[in-house]
Structure 1
Amino acid sequence: MSKRTNESESGKPHGSKKLNTTFTKEDINGFFNQKIWDENFQNEMTKEIAASQPYRWGTIRELMDDTLLRNVRSEVLSEIAFTKKETDIYKVFQSGDLANLSGLDWDDLSRLPSLFKLRAAIYSEEFRDVVSKITGCGKLSGVKTDMSINTYTKGCHLLTHDDVIGSRRVSFILYLPDPDRTWKAQYGGGLRLFPAIVPNVPETDFHSKLVPQFNQIAFFTVQPGLSFHDVEEVRVDKQRLSIQGWFHIPQPGEPGFVPGEQEETESRSTLQQLQSKELQEYDFPKPFRTDIPVEELKLYETEFSTLTSDEVEYLKHFLNPIFLQPSNIQQLNKIFMEENVVEINEILNDDYAESLRSLIRETELNTAAPQTSKLIQHPWKCAIPPHKQRFMYIDGKTPFEGTEKGIKFVNQIGPQEAPSFGLLKSENGADNKLIELASFLRSVVFKKWLKLLTSLIVTSDQVLVRRFRPGHDFILATTTEKSLARGDEELNVLLEATLNLTPTAINPKNWESGEFGGYELCMALQGKNGEDGEDFEEDDDPAVYRANDPNDDSVLYTSQCKWNSLTLILRDPSVLKFVKYVSINAKGSRWDISAQWNVKDGGAVDEDDLADGEDSKTEDIED
């Protein structure tokens, strides 16, 4: 945590002398702005919090003594080292935990006296009693402390979550940006609060946003399934410094301790996780694949090793002809059989690709991306809920209202539709071109081409056109269902395709660093996975990886945003996959078409038969 080492100039460890850590009630009172102790102020705050929306929360400006907090900020910037941490749910620079500050040696404490005073003040009985009163949350622990220092710089963010872990009762964030400058709304970094459609399912658009200022605290009661919030991405080269943490329920021996309360709280959290499958009716788009009709399936089950001239002619309307040549198909099949993944660059033919790129760029340049879910228009929809995913998509089905009533209707009452891209119409040329391409991925001959490439027979499919907008969209780490095989013949895997169609990626420098997100990443599932994020403890992350760390062998595959590139991958239930949040500073949206297929073994491709077909130079393949 500290920038300096714990040694004297002689190289020997300092002695164990401790700083006087005893503060009187008068000391504690003096660390705060005196309005905090005024009964009228407390009563007014109690009323405001009781009436707050979307759940119980509050904020206090000028919480601490100004001189003390300025000294804290100076100590933090000069003495604390920050480590960059990044997963699917956040990017942030964080200090070590400050809970054991009193256990540091004299050298550390002598350099952090104001920070120590602040921690003592925050967890003092006097201030805990104020928090208890104005939030109505009940007694708070003084022995279980839990806080750290974060700095959000340009590109840092924290996506939607509810902070529900263990014995947490109240979350708080004390802001320390530059005290002599106003932090403006356009800088980003706001705390955004989300209402719930039903408990455990947040709406995709936030209800309230707090633009943080120096010496301002925000706090809210940790309410399972309700206290959803995020931290808006910081857009500028400025430090949004903050001290954040939690108050916990009383521990044994403390006033307000209730035997069994912590166990009950933890079991409720676990129960909610176990019940999460019941809430999947609120997930859209759903991971539902449509069965291939029996008569169509017979076409793929029939042995074939080449495509007819009519089939090739149809494929050429979309695909680069080089990937229809038998010897190149053979080479791609060999790569896929060995690696379970193959990436094919320049997959679309030149004319089709150029037409599509021009239309998408025209859309991006001339039409503002919808900033809320309510502004998204048919044929597009918004993926929900935002503690799992948010992006725009076209699935070949009619729109619905994203409310409890609307979701119940589409799930349980209204017609159950099969995807039908051919019936979708749009006034936007890019939309129509993307819909045409999605329909092509569902064609008979494309699935036959897939069999030649993968030696797999597809038995069901789902195709989605997707757009990930800068400053909005992502998919958090998820696995597939554990049981994918629906019969003895099917394999317990999915064949997945991503057709990358991001026009700005024609210049790789726009995306290749990964700093703007938008990349798709697959990693091996490891250990326990929680759903928190704001404490950034690695054991609690939905997916823990070290961005740009070549030694992280849990990462199986990463693909930056690209133009005109198809990735085919065979994925089993032990593999997590996510699309990283796209930064507000990205050059444009991430565009792609995503497909999933259940599969069964189609047998090895007959290399002799392939060799009898049209010949070509395999080095021409962009794989």
Structure 2
Amino acid sequence: MTQKRDLENKDGPSAKKVNLEFKKEEIEGFFNDKIWDNKFQEEIKEQVEKSQPYRWGTITELMNDELLRNVRQEVLNEIAFKKKETDIYKVHQSGDLANLSGLDWDDLSRLPSLYKLRAGIYSEEFRDMISRITGSGKLSGVKTDMSINTYTKGCHLLTHDDVIGSRRVSFILYLPDPDKKWKPHYGGALRLFPAIVPNVPKTDYEVKLVPQFNQIAFFTVQPGLSFHDVEEVRADKHRLSIQGWFHIPQEGEPGYIPGEQEATEARSTLQQLQNKELQEYDFPKPIRNDIPADELKLYRGLGQECAFSPEEYSYLRKYLNAQYLEPKNLQRLADVFMEESLVELGGILNDELAGKLMDSIRDLEINTKAPAHSSEIHFPWKCAMPPHKQRFMYIDGKESLEASEEGIKFINRTGPQELPNFQLTGKAATNTVEELFCQICSFFKSIAFRKWLLFLTRLIPTSDQILLRRFRPGSDFILATSTDSKLARDNTDEINALLEATFNFTPTATNSKNWESGEFGGYELCMSSNASDDEDEEDDPAIYRESDPNDDSVLYTSQCKWNSLCLMLRDPSILKFVKYVSVNAKGSRWDISCQWNVESSDKDDEDEDAATS
């Protein structure tokens, strides 16, 4: 058996280098003759100029059919793929095909068709044709950037715009089975997203391209506009493709403009994600509402000993498992939290309430299809946005919002700045699930619950945000995000960290086979924000924050659970994401996410110790 080639390990010295040059006639012969026809190019150029939601195009039967079939066979026989998975994608990928020109003859003789394909794609003839039909301007022949991807069942790439470095035109050449049509229900389509305003894509895609063998899709990389994703592959099939970019001309090439690359890099996606002005389009916003001063005074006057009045105990017992109201249990859990800054509690709700909630969610999921389009989501639910950061359904106890430029400006700058009210929202519930969850969210805003939280964490909550969330299969996720660097507010005794709670209520998690493997996503992961800093490695356009799940920088991972609470004290150095939920998941991920600004309940004791020392 021959060993497959790992293209990422071909940078070392070689005994016999090959420098193959192809004549113009040979290059043109690698392609279908039609693409060199002026009339055909004008037709494609016109299609690109009229395309929506931004300038893009596609050509079928691009390459010489025999050549591309040979390429596909060489790829399958000779090239090794590595599974790569981050918060934004899951894919099997080769190394950079730029290394092909440095291979020795023994290696190159096993990839002759692939070498011809790469030479043809980056030839002056093809670059000039792409430049003409896209109107993008001159393209570099020196800087090449191309790899082979295979998307198998469950693989996906979430929304991004490819804007990074010197990229000017993105392309994808598809190589699925040439003798079988790739059908829409297989998934794996290229989907293009319009923008509400530049750098803020709409929640739903506008164009969907189902890939076929020997078809190329391409678009000009347009800062803040060229948003796209790759739909998850649903079938047990290989969606093979060659993905790459044409770059702006480098120094010494025709079309080179001094300073152009620096100006392009300044508009990178990562920098736009960090743009404070654009955060007004983020919903839900990480806004925590102040707890009233009189209520804070009550909490600050409590001692360390756990004690509830009969009325408080009765109220807490309506919701919480009685074992978590026992002083000795609370003390034990408080000790764990003090040591680890994290504690997990299984069976957090009492059996009666948990049973009602499970029955109602199961009934809803079995009998009611989850909304697929944002227009199908109705009050009290909303859809998180924008989709290059997050997408999920949520209830925040506030009025509905209009996801347009005008609607968002009204909410942020003109309209009522309302506080959440889950009790009122619950009265508008259309089913038992919404009604029960709104009751539970109201409970989390109660004085009795906040006292319970204080006894468990030894932290006094000073503000809060409560969100009910639903992550639908085939739709929803949160990409890796950090908190603000300054969490403690001025003129307060707050800690520069957030107390966060995730109450996980996913009924399908009662069967460990459904989520424990992680293959269906839906897990919550925390990691160090400087997990993968590498100044020598060029950023990947699809990775804003990345970490190997087996790396020491991964601090905490939690699969979907049923009736479970995770409490965590999170400082600004910790990133968190919820992995995209696969279309193959057995149901939605359901949770309630809470955040509190906090101050230490030990402050007075610490002050006394300092005074007497």
> Residues 528 and 539 of structure 1 are in contact (CA less than 8 Å); yes or no, is this contact kept in structure 2?
no
- 1:507 is aligned with what amino acid? N
Alignment of 1:492-511 (within 5 A): 492-511=496-515
> Residues 162 and 269 of structure 2 are in contact (CA less than 8 Å); yes or no, is this contact kept in structure 1?
no
* Distance in 2, Cα, partners of 1:179 & 1:277: 47
* Distance in 1, Cα, partners of 2:363 & 2:604: 42
> Residues 53 and 207 of structure 2 are in contact (CA less than 8 Å); yes or no, is this contact kept in structure 1?
yes
1:456 to 451, 456, 459: 459
2:34 alignment counterpart = 35
1:506-535 per-position Cα deviation (integer Å, ceiling 9, x unaligned): 1111100000000000001116779xxxx9
Could you tell me how far 1:273 is from its partner in structure 2?
Answer: 3.0
> Residues 455 and 604 of structure 1 are in contact (CA less than 8 Å); yes or no, is this contact kept in structure 2?
no
Alignment of 1:55-204 (within 5 A): 55-204=54-203
Which runs of at least 4 in structure 1 moved beyond 4 Å after TM superposition? 527-530, 535-540
Could you tell me how far 1:605 is from its partner in structure 2?
Answer: 13
**2:50 matches 1:47:** no
Alignment of 1:203-602 (within 5 A): 203-269=202-268, 272-273=271-272, 276-304=275-303, 305=305, 306-424=307-425, 425-486=428-489, 487-526=491-530, 541-547=543-549, 549=550, 552-602=551-601
* Distance in 2, Cα, partners of 1:344 & 1:182: 50
Could you tell me how far 1:258 is from its partner in structure 2?
Answer: 1.3
1:9 alignment counterpart = none
Q: Note closer, same or farther for the CA distance 1:592–1:35 as it changes in structure 2 (3 Å cut).
A: same
* Distance in 2, Cα, partners of 1:253 & 1:479: 41
* Distance in 2, Cα, partners of 1:168 & 1:422: 51
Report SS of the residue matched to 1:53: coil
Q: Note closer, same or farther for the CA distance 1:523–1:278 as it changes in structure 2 (3 Å cut).
A: same
* Distance in 1, Cα, partners of 2:438 & 2:538: 40
> Residues 92 and 151 of structure 2 are in contact (CA less than 8 Å); yes or no, is this contact kept in structure 1?
yes
1:294-325 per-position Cα deviation (integer Å, ceiling 9, x unaligned): 01111211123211221111101000000000
> Residues 31 and 121 of structure 1 are in contact (CA less than 8 Å); yes or no, is this contact kept in structure 2?
yes
> Residues 529 and 542 of structure 1 are in contact (CA less than 8 Å); yes or no, is this contact kept in structure 2?
no
> Residues 479 and 575 of structure 1 are in contact (CA less than 8 Å); yes or no, is this contact kept in structure 2?
yes
Could you tell me how far 1:14 is from its partner in structure 2?
Answer: 10
* Distance in 2, Cα, partners of 1:66 & 1:236: 25
> Residues 174 and 242 of structure 2 are in contact (CA less than 8 Å); yes or no, is this contact kept in structure 1?
yes
Report SS of the residue matched to 2:147: strand
* Distance in 2, Cα, partners of 1:270 & 1:317: 48
- 1:218 is aligned with what amino acid? A
Could you tell me how far 1:200 is from its partner in structure 2?
Answer: 0.3
Report SS of the residue matched to 1:495: strand
TM-score (norm: length of structure 1) = 0.92
Q: Note closer, same or farther for the CA distance 1:4–1:223 as it changes in structure 2 (3 Å cut).
A: closer
* Distance in 1, Cα, partners of 2:41 & 2:460: 68
Report SS of the residue matched to 1:235: coil
Could you tell me how far 1:538 is from its partner in structure 2?
Answer: 6.2
> Residues 16 and 106 of structure 1 are in contact (CA less than 8 Å); yes or no, is this contact kept in structure 2?
no
Q: Note closer, same or farther for the CA distance 1:145–1:562 as it changes in structure 2 (3 Å cut).
A: same
Report SS of the residue matched to 2:365: helix
> Residues 56 and 217 of structure 2 are in contact (CA less than 8 Å); yes or no, is this contact kept in structure 1?
yes
> Residues 529 and 539 of structure 1 are in contact (CA less than 8 Å); yes or no, is this contact kept in structure 2?
no
- 1:518 is aligned with what amino acid? G
- RMSD (CA atoms): 2.0
1:96-116 per-position Cα deviation (integer Å, ceiling 9, x unaligned): 001121011111101000000
* Distance in 1, Cα, partners of 2:291 & 2:107: 66
* Distance in 1, Cα, partners of 2:270 & 2:187: 35
* Distance in 2, Cα, partners of 1:412 & 1:529: 37
- 1:61 is aligned with what amino acid? T
Q: Note closer, same or farther for the CA distance 1:569–1:192 as it changes in structure 2 (3 Å cut).
A: same
* Distance in 1, Cα, partners of 2:244 & 2:177: 21
Q: Note closer, same or farther for the CA distance 1:271–1:147 as it changes in structure 2 (3 Å cut).
A: closer
* Distance in 2, Cα, partners of 1:131 & 1:250: 14
1:273-301 per-position Cα deviation (integer Å, ceiling 9, x unaligned): 38611011100000000000101111211
* Distance in 2, Cα, partners of 1:143 & 1:109: 20
1:108-139 per-position Cα deviation (integer Å, ceiling 9, x unaligned): 10100000000000000000010000000000
* Distance in 2, Cα, partners of 1:2 & 1:218: 32
Structure 1, 46-55 or 299-308: larger mean CA deviation: 299-308
Could you tell me how far 1:16 is from its partner in structure 2?
Answer: 2.5
Report SS of the residue matched to 2:308: coil
Report SS of the residue matched to 2:97: coil
Could you tell me how far 1:171 is from its partner in structure 2?
Answer: 0.2
Report SS of the residue matched to 1:100: helix
* Distance in 2, Cα, partners of 1:133 & 1:179: 29
> Residues 6 and 94 of structure 2 are in contact (CA less than 8 Å); yes or no, is this contact kept in structure 1?
no
1:560-587 per-position Cα deviation (integer Å, ceiling 9, x unaligned): 0000000000000000000000000000
> Residues 155 and 233 of structure 2 are in contact (CA less than 8 Å); yes or no, is this contact kept in structure 1?
yes
* Distance in 1, Cα, partners of 2:122 & 2:390: 36
* Distance in 2, Cα, partners of 1:579 & 1:270: 20
Q: Note closer, same or farther for the CA distance 1:604–1:329 as it changes in structure 2 (3 Å cut).
A: farther
